[in-house]
Amino acid sequence: MKKKRLLADILLIAGVLIAAAVVWLLLPRGGGGAAAVVTVNGEHYASLPLSEDAELLIRSDDGGENLLVISGGKARVTESNCPTGVCVETGAVSSEGQLIVCLPHKVVIEIVG
Say how many residues touch Zn ion, by CB under 5 A.
Answer: 4
Does the footprint of Zn ion cover residue 108 (CB under 5 A)?
no
> Nearest CA to 77 among 51, 105, 41, 44?
105
Q: Closest distance between Zn ion and the C-beta of residue 90, in Å?
A: 9
| Long-range contact pairs involving 12-16 (C-beta distance under 8 Å, separation at least 24) | none
Return the range that interacts with Zn ion (CB under 5 A); candidates 14-22, 29-37, 44-52, 100-108. 100-108
Exactly one of 38, 93, 102, 109 binds Zn ion (CB under 5 A); which one? 102
d(CA 81, CA 63): 9
> Nearest CA to 113 among 41, 7, 15, 31?
31
Does the footprint of Zn ion cover residue 100 (CB under 5 A)?
no
The enclosing H or E element of 54 equals strand 54-59
- By beta-carbon proximity to Zn ion, the closer residue of 4 and 62 is 62
Exactly one of 58, 70, 80, 109 binds Zn ion (CB under 5 A); which one? 80
For binding to Zn ion (CB under 5 A), which residues are involved?
Answer: 80, 82, 87, 102
